[in-house]
Amino acid sequence: MGSRRGRSTDEGGPQRVTVPVLQVLDLLLAEPARDDWFALDICRRTRLGSGSVVEILFRLQRWGWVTSRWEDASDAHRQGRPRRRFYQLTGQGAAAAREVMRERFPGLARWAPGGAPT
Amino acid sequence: MRRDEGLARRGARRRAATQAITLAAVIDQLLEAEATHVPMSAGAGTRHAVILRRGQIRNALSLLEEALAYGLDFDFVPPSELSGARAHTRNVAQILRLRVTAALSLAPDLPSNAGHLRAARQLAVELLESLGHIQRWVLEVEADALPSPWAETWSGRLLRLAALALPTGQRRDFIEDQCGNLAAIESPRERARYLLGLMGRMSEIAAACR
C-alpha cells in the first residue's frame, strides 16, 4: 500500500489515495449516514485484509473523513463480547470521498454530488 | 468498573497536578506581595492581597492532598519503579505540607517565612514532575496488564504483544476493539486470517494511528 510513502506527508489530508482506500470509501459511501461501521464488517464486504482496513480507518480518522465512537458496552456484553469501535463518515469526509471518486472514476455517475449510489 | 476506577484515579492525578501548578503560582504571588510589604496603616490593599494569597495556598494544598490520596491509590500491584515514584511523591507532599505550615505559621501581620515559601515552591514543581512520570507509568502498566477476560485468550495475548507497536494510550482500545471483532468470527480459519492480517501490518497500523 501507499502508507510508507504517504505516512509523513498526509497529516492534514490525503496526499495519495490508494486502491484499498478507494474500496473502503466506496463501501462507506454506499451508506453514508450509517454510524456503526466496524472493521470486521468492512473486511468482509471489501475482502480486504484486517490489517489494511484497520490502517485505512486510522488514516481516514486522522484526515477527519470519519469519526469513531465506542459501541454501547451493555449491547456488547449482552452478546458476550468486548465492545467494538464504530466508524461513521463525516460530512466533510463524504464530500471529499465523492470528489476523489469522481476524479478517479470520471465516467461513473454513481458518486454525483448528493446522489445515492446506484 | 475497574476501567472507570482507573479513569477516575487518572483524573485525580490530573487535579493534583493542577493544584501543584496553582500552589507554585500563588506562592510566587505571595512572595511578590510581601516583597512590597508596608505597614498596615499605609497599605491596606497589599495586606489584603497577602491574606488572600495565604488562604489560596492553604486551600490549594488541601485540594492537592485530597487528590493525591485518591490518585495514588492504584488498583493493581505497581511495579517497583512505579511504587518508588509513588512513595517519593507522597514524601514530597508531606514535606511540602511542613514547609507551608512553617512559612505561614507566623502572626497575620508579620511577613511569611520566605525561605520556607521558596522551598515549598520547589517542592510543588518537584511534585508536578513526579506526577507526570507516574501518569505515564500507569498508562503503560494499564495497557500491558489488562484485567479483561478477553485479553487473556490466546488471540488477546497475541494482540497485546502486537499492540506494543502502538502509542501507549491507544493500546488498550485497540486490543478491546480487535477482540470484539474476533469474537464475532465463527470460523477458526477466518479468525486466524483476521489476526494474522493485523499482525503482518502492525507497523503500518502504528504509523497510521500516530
Q: What is the pLDDT of residues B117-168, one digit of tens each?
A: 999 999 999 999 999 999 988 887 766 555 567 777 888 888 988 888 888 7
Interchain CB distance below 8 Å, B197 and A52:
yes
Domain end residue (candidates: B121, B144, B167):
B144
- Which residue from A40, A62, A76 is facing B185, i.e. has the nearest CB? A40
| For residue A11, pLDDT beyond 70 | no
Helix, strand, coil fractions of chain B, as percent rounded to 5: 80, 0, 20
Q: Which of B85, B73, B68, B79 is nearest to B13 (CA)?
A: B68
Judgement on whether residues B183 and B136 belong to the same structural domain of the protein: no
Judgement on whether residues B102 and B186 belong to the same structural domain of the protein: no
Residue B24 CB contacts under 8 Å (≥ 6 apart), including other chains: B121, B124, B125, B128
Judgement on whether residues B108 and B165 belong to the same structural domain of the protein: no
Tell me which chain A residues have a C-beta less than 8 angstroms from the C-beta of B198.
Answer: 50-51, 54
Give the model's pLDDT for residue A13: 67
| Three-state secondary structure of chain A | CCHHHHCCCCCCCCCCCCHHHHHHHHHHHHCCCCCCECHHHHHHHHCCCHHHHHHHHHHHHHHCCEEEEECCHHHHHHCCCCCCEEEEECHHHHHHHHHHHHHHCCCCHHHCCCCCCC
Interchain CB distance below 8 Å, A51 and B176:
no
C-beta separation of A101 from A25 below 8 A:
yes
Judgement on whether residues B101 and B79 belong to the same structural domain of the protein: yes
In order of their start, the domains of chain A are 18-105 (1.10.10.10)
Tell me which chain A residues have a C-beta less than 8 angstroms from the C-beta of B173.
Answer: 85
pLDDT tens-digit profile, chain B (210 residues): 456 778 889 999 999 999 999 999 999 998 888 877 555 555 556 677 888 888 999 999 999 999 999 999 887 777 778 889 999 999 999 999 999 999 988 776 777 788 899 999 999 999 999 999 999 888 877 665 555 677 778 888 889 888 888 887 788 889 889 998 998 898 999 999 999 999 999 999 999 987
Domain end residue (candidates: B144, B173, B192):
B144
Q: Which domain holds residue B75?
A: 2-144
Domain end residue (candidates: B144, B172, B192):
B144
Tell me which chain A residues have a C-beta less than 8 angstroms from the C-beta of B179.
Answer: 81-82
Judgement on whether residues B192 and B134 belong to the same structural domain of the protein: no
By CA distance, what is B182's nearest residue in A?
Answer: A40
Domain count, chain B: 2
Judgement on whether residues B140 and B169 belong to the same structural domain of the protein: no
Side chain identity at A107, as an amino acid letter?
G
CATH of the domain at B133: 1.20.120
Interchain CB distance below 8 Å, A50 and B148:
no
Give the model's pLDDT for residue B47: 72
Q: Which of A7, A38, A40 would you mutate first to test chain B, the one with the most B CBs within 10 A?
A: A40
Judgement on whether residues B86 and B104 belong to the same structural domain of the protein: yes
Give the model's pLDDT for residue A4: 41
Q: B112: exposed, middle or buried (C-beta count within 10 Å: 0-12, 13-18, 19+)? A: buried
Among all chains, which residue has been given the C-alpha cell 479513569?
B7
Judgement on whether residues B98 and B66 belong to the same structural domain of the protein: yes
Smallest CA–CA separation between B179 and chain A, in Å?
6
Residue B173 CB contacts under 8 Å (≥ 6 apart), including other chains: A85
Query: What is the per-residue pLDDT across A51-98, written as a single tens digit (0 to 9) for each?
Result: 999 999 999 999 999 999 999 888 887 777 888 999 999 999 999 999
Tell me which chain A residues have a C-beta less than 8 angstroms from the C-beta of B148.
Answer: 82
Interchain CB distance below 8 Å, A43 and B194:
yes
Assign A9 a pLDDT band (cuts: 50, 70, 90).
Answer: very low
